[in-house]
Every structure is written in structure tokens, then in C-alpha cells.
Amino acid sequence: MAEERKTLEQRHQMTELERIRHSAAHVLATAILKIWPEAQFAAGPPVENGFYYDVDLPHRISPEDFEKIEAEMKKEIKANNVFERVEVTRDQALEDARKGRLAGLSERSEPSKFKLDIVQGIPEGEPISYYRNGDFIDLCAGPHVMRTGNIGAFKLTSVASAYYKGDERNPQLQRIYGTAFKNKTEMEAYFTMLEEAKKRDHRKLGREMELFCFDDDVGPGLPLWLPRGTVLIEELEKLAKETEFAAGYQRVRTPHLARENMYKTSGHLPYYADSMFPPMKLVEQAEKDQELQLWVEKMELKQKLDGALAIEDPEYGAVRDRFKVVERALEAIGDRYYLKAMNCPHHHKLYAAVPHSYRDLPLRLAEYGTCYRYEQSGELFGLMRVRSMQMNDSHIYCTEDQFEQEFRAVNDMYLKYFKIFGIDKYLMRFSTHDPSKLGQKFVDQPELWLKTEDMVRGVLQRSGINYVEVPNEAAFYGPKIDVQVWSAIGREFTIATNQVDFAVPSRFGLVYKTRENTEATPLCIHRAPLGTHERFIGFLIEHYAGNFPLWLAPEQVRVLPIGDEAPLVEYAQGIVTELRAQGVRADLDASSDKINGKILRAEERKIHTMLVIGKRDLEAGAVSLRVHGKGNLGAKPRAEVIADILSAIRERRA
Ligand SMILES: [Zn+2]
Ligand SMILES: [Zn+2]
């Protein structure tokens, strides 16, 4: 797929950090040319967490070359050259490209071939500009930092190969990645965070802690949840069900698949077909004979078309037409079912199943619905990108008058969850439509767009929620909010999406009777604060480094008697039984191992609370409390410790 050219508007929106990083790409090219003057450059944009520059060079650059290149980059930064912008005519740019002057330190015998191609691709009327730092001149629309010295800290990170313009018919280039920051401190913090993220990698911890697995026979991207992971799922569902119940939601259940026609009504087909699993075709017994006859006829016709009949033969046209008719008839036989990629259409059907009046609204239908999406196998990544996912889904059907209150309640629910999970930093990205793309990218209902966007913006502003507005990224049918959160080590995750839908309910013919006894279409809010189990648990594993709070921990309490004397083990077993009767996930380590071995094993397993039982504890009716990561907290009365465990779980204490 070809890479898209940035619009001028997108360039203006580049952040300071992006400018630093993009400027560092120019400095990288400068340095490479000092070492290899024949280097040819293609594109050098900022990317997430850094920048790259694509270079064509006979020498294969490897990480061993980085030190040498970085040394040259340092010289260029130390020189503190100004990034000077020069606007030129198209003819001038073409001439300089032919002389090898673009992305070069001087004129060269070879033309700047990629830059020449890029100049030729710049739309007529768009300004053409160069940026110069020292001797290096590059074709670039900017923006940059003022001087090379503004690049506070940088590092080359990796090298990969990439096709020019991302098209495999084009030559293969070397893509050199690096990152840059305002200063050394920020860069060091970034690399420390990466190191920490590696230790907390959800795939690694998921395996070590026996939370989930994948199996080739089940299929890529289809996670299997082991008992300990299933505990996490069920605790999250319990939290969601309690919270939603208190907020007036009603639970529903829907099947995992539906007929093709529903997805045509919803608009998923044909637009979303690539992201869905291919259909299953069901043919009723009564149709099977007819299907077989059509198959036989199709084969006969195909034989004729494939050679038995010459194209010049007058019969050929008629055979070809019949072939098409038979193919269509075969298509029409039977029923096609799709695995659901979203829960919304099923919920719309539930809304439609019962007549509604304004008195029934808002109607909040909730389901932890399982969805299936066909992600390319190259895109699959642990729990973060999967093909089956269980979503904390709900659809709220309401009148326009109710919208603000409902939307605000959804936001409050987010904030409540953030508090429970100790998420201190979050951002809501509010995506709006682009009026110039009505009827193409966005449903053509200009007044409804403005109205709903105003409503959403109003709620966000009035409730003091941390948000940014992003134009041109709304869903097809309404404005959208993506919720980004930062884990404890400062890594960013997109965990959830809210959408306001003013278009699809009418496609499904959803109505309610108004106070005046007329019919009106409700608005629909799609919301999933806990996202999908897969992504949210992936996030939580990193966020907690696997050290889940007591209420969420797969094994909450382990009781460890010192030695295996009968009265001691009986006392320990009594504590386990008492805790289990209260729903606490408690286990007994009755092995004959030394106590240090038992503690070590429990600590390695990240068991939240360990109750060590010695003779003195038994005599005093006490337990010696030990908490993972906090060490030994001393002996306490048994009843007090159990009461505290129960209240910590009930309150979902951090
Ligand atoms: Zn530039
Ligand atoms: Zn939905």
C-alpha cells in the first residue's frame, strides 16, 4: 500500500517533539552523506517514538555503523546550524534534483533520483520548499526546529528494509530508525521505560503466571484462558455487572453469528467485509438437489468455455451467458452467516423486538459480547491484537434531551474505573467529521453532525474531562471518542472507544412513541469503558507488572504452615475453609518443604497475601501476615486478618 503524503494542515499540527525528531532525520542524512557521499535519500518522517530516514546505499548499514554515524550527527548538532527555509520554483527543484543537489551536501554526478520523483509528484500550485542546515539541502515542507542544536538528545535504534513509497514493485531501501528528545533526562527515562516494559511484557508474564495461551490447532489470534486468567476475566465482569446494574443497565445475550442480511442493513457489508471472517454457507436439505444440478451444469458449461467450444463459434456467447446465470443461481442458494464483528446490530434487533415509548428511554442494553475480527496474521500481537475478543459492550438508546445526562454518566463510569485501577493519566481523543467529506467518509447529515458534536463537546468541557479534539477521524455514523490511558510505567494504550450514532438506528427502523404520540428515532451511544478483556488484561498485566491487587489476584491468599504436624495443618486448613466459604481464592501449601521454600514459591507466583502459621500462631489464634512485595507484616489475630482481607476485596482496594 502506498504511503500517504501529509497534508499542509497535518504538518502544522506537528508537535514540538515531532519537529525535533523530524529535524534529527535531516541531521542523520547529513551525517550519512559525510561518510558515504553517494547515499540517496527518499523519505524521513517523524514516527511514533522517533523518526526514520530511508536511504539507498551499496554499503549495508548495520548497528555496528551507528557509533560512527552518531559521532557525525553530534558534530552537526554542535555546529548549531540554522534550519533555513527556501522556497523555489518547480523548475529550480527539478534542476537541483537532476544535479544530485537535493538530500546532498553538494552537486553530484548522479541525480537525486527519489527526490526527483517526489518533486514530480507535488501537486501543481503547492509551494515547493527546501530546508538547509549547513551544506545539507533537502526537499522538505517542514516544519523543523530552529537550529540543529535544539535536538537535545538522540540515538539510532535499528535498521530495517523498506520499499520506496511502501510499494513492493519499487526498489528496496534501508530504513534507519532513531529517536530524539528535548533533553538527555527525557531520553533516559524513555529507555528505562522500554526496559521496564520488556520485563512487564504481557506475553511473557501471561506465560509465566499461567494466565492465557495460544495454540496452533485452535488458530492464531484466538487466546485460550487458563484458570488463573479466567479469574481475571470473571472479576472484571463482576465489576462491570455491578457497576452497570447500579447505573440502570439491563443485561442481554446474543448469538455469535447472524445472517448476511443484518450486516447489509447495518452497513458492515460490504464496507467492513475485509475485517470480518468469511461467511459460512448453509444449504437446506431441500435445496441440495437443486444445488447439485447447478454444479453439474456449471462444470459442463465451464468445459465448453475452456476449450471444447471455439470463441468464434456462434454458440459461445449463449454458453457464456448461461454460465453467468448458473453462477448467480448457485450464489443465491442457501444462506450466508457471518461471525459477529460487533454487537451493535444484535442489540438494535433487541431494541426493535419490543415497542418503545419515550417513557422506556433511556434503554441501556449491556452484554460482555464476544466478537470476531479478521486481523491479518502479521498484525496479530499477544492479547493486544487478536481475532476473538470479549467486549464490555453496551448500547444506550435515548432521546436528544437525554443525551447529555447519559453521556456524562458514561464518562463518570470511566473515571470510576480509572480510580479503581489506579490510572492517573488518561486522555479522551474526541474525533469529529470533516464537512468536505460528507457523503463519502461521513453520513451526509450536516445538521446532525454539528448538533451531536456540540453536545459531546459541551459535556466534555463542562465535566472537566481531559480531552483533545481531532478533526476528520469520526466514525462513519457519528462522532467518536477514543480513550487513551497510560500504564504505571508511562506507556500509552488505547483501551476503549465511545461512539455517538445518529444514523444506524434509522437504518434499522428503530423508533419510539413521543409524548405527542408521533414516532421518533432514538440516538444510540456505543460505549465499552473496559474495552475488551484481551486488551484490558494485556494493559493490566503491564500496569501491575503481574502484581494484581487483592480483589483481582488469581490466587488471593496462600496459607503456609511451618512444618506438617497435624494440629498446625488442621488450623491452617480451617483458615482456608473459612476464607473459601466467603468466596476468597485461598489455598493451602501442605507440602513438607521448609517454610522458606514455601514462601519463595508463593512469592514467585505473585500470590498477594501469605498467612504463615507457626506453633505460636496456633496457640494465640493468630496468623503471621506476609504481603507480596511488602514482606513480613508480623503476627495478628486471625479474625482481624480475615476481616481485613474480606473488606479489601469488597472495596476493591488498590
Ligand atoms: Zn524536513
Ligand atoms: Zn456498538
Read off the pLDDT of residues 122-141 as tens digits, 9 standing for 90 and up. 988 889 999 999 999 999 98
Residues 160 and 70 in one domain: yes
Number of domains into which the chain is organized: 4
Give the ligand at the shortest distance from the Cα of 396: 2
> Does the pLDDT of residue 5 top 60, yes or no?
no
Element holding 297 (H helix, E strand): helix 285-303
Is 79 domain-assigned?
Answer: yes
* Percent helix, percent strand, percent coil in the chain, to nearest 5: 45, 25, 35
Is 198 domain-assigned?
Answer: no
What distance in angstroms lies between residue 121's CA and the mean position of ligand 1's atoms? Answer: 17
pLDDT band at residue 308 using 50, 70 and 90 as cut-offs: confident
Give the ligand at the shortest distance from the Cα of 144: 1
Q: Which residues surround ligand 1, an ion (CB under 5 A)?
A: 140
> Please, where are the H alpha helices in 133-284?
184-199, 202-208, 227-246, 260-266, 268-271
Is 193 domain-assigned?
Answer: no
What distance in angstroms lies between residue 13's CA and the mean position of ligand 2's atoms? Answer: 31
- Buried (b) or exposed (e) across 374-413, using 16+ Cβ within 10 A? eeeeeeeebbbbbbbbbbbbbbbbbbeebbbebbbbbbeb
Q: Which regions of 140-193 does DSSP assign to beta strands (E)? A: 153-163, 172-181
What distance in angstroms lies between residue 52's CA and the mean position of ligand 1's atoms? Answer: 12
> Does the pLDDT of residue 66 top 70, yes or no?
yes
Residues 252 and 267 in one domain: no
Residue where a domain terminates, one of 336, 357, 375: 336
* CATH number, residue 385: 3.30.930.10
Residue where a domain terminates, one of 286, 306, 336: 336
> Does the pLDDT of residue 44 top 50, yes or no?
yes
Residues 355 and 491 in one domain: yes
What distance in angstroms lies between residue 501's CA and the mean position of ligand 2's atoms? Answer: 9
* CATH number, residue 106: 3.30.980.10
Residues 523 and 568 in one domain: no
Is 211 domain-assigned?
Answer: no
CA distance linking residue 631 with residue 637, whole number of Å: 18
Element holding 344 (H helix, E strand): helix 344-352
What distance in angstroms lies between residue 229's CA and the mean position of ligand 2's atoms? Answer: 26
Please tell me the predicted confidence (pLDDT) of residue 3: 44
| Neighbouring residues of 257: CB distance < 8 A, sequence distance ≥ 6 | 280, 337, 338, 339, 340
CA angle 490, 494, 495 (to 5 degrees): 110
Range of the structural domain that residue 304 is part of: 262-336
Q: How far is CA 419 from CA 155, 185, 414, 474, in A?
A: 36, 29, 9, 28
Is 191 domain-assigned?
Answer: no
Residue where a domain terminates, one of 544, 575, 596: 544
Is 77 domain-assigned?
Answer: yes
What distance in angstroms lies between residue 141's CA and the mean position of ligand 1's atoms? Answer: 6
> Does the pLDDT of residue 2 top 50, yes or no?
no
The tens digit of pLDDT for each residue in 454-513 reads 999 999 998 888 899 998 888 888 899 999 999 999 889 999 889 999 888 999 999 999
Residues 90 and 175 in one domain: yes
What distance in angstroms lies between residue 468's CA and the mean position of ligand 1's atoms? Answer: 26
What distance in angstroms lies between residue 355's CA and the mean position of ligand 2's atoms? Answer: 21
Give the ligand at the shortest distance from the Cα of 344: 2
Q: Are 621 and 611 in contact (CB under 8 A)?
A: no
Please tell me the predicted confidence (pLDDT) of residue 316: 85
Is 114 domain-assigned?
Answer: yes
Provide the β-strand partners of residue 493.
Answer: 485
447: Cα separation from own chain's centroid: 31
Q: Starting at the edge strand that comes first in sequence, how are the strands of the sheet with 257-259 ordered?
A: 257-259, 335-339, 280-282
What distance in angstroms lies between residue 505's CA and the mean position of ligand 2's atoms? Answer: 11
Residues 157 and 65 in one domain: yes
Residues 532 and 567 in one domain: no
- Local structure of 520: helix, strand or coil: strand
Please tell me the predicted confidence (pLDDT) of residue 140: 94
Give the ligand at the shortest distance from the Cα of 496: 2
pLDDT band at residue 157 using 50, 70 and 90 as cut-offs: very high
Determine phi and psi for 364, rounding to 5 degrees.
-115, 105
Residues 286 and 401 in one domain: no
Which amino acid does the sequence have at 200?
R
What distance in angstroms lies between residue 446's CA and the mean position of ligand 2's atoms? Answer: 22
* CATH number, residue 572: 3.40.50.800
Percent of the chain with pLDDT over 70: 98
Residues 287 and 365 in one domain: no
CA distance linking residue 167 with residue 31, whole number of Å: 27
Query: Average pLDDT, stretch 385-411?
Result: 95
Residues 287 and 408 in one domain: no
Give the closest residue to 619 by CA, choosing from 562, 576, 540.
Answer: 562
What is the chain's alpha carbon radius of gyration, rounded to the nearest angstrom? Answer: 31
What distance in angstroms lies between residue 435's CA and the mean position of ligand 1's atoms? Answer: 30
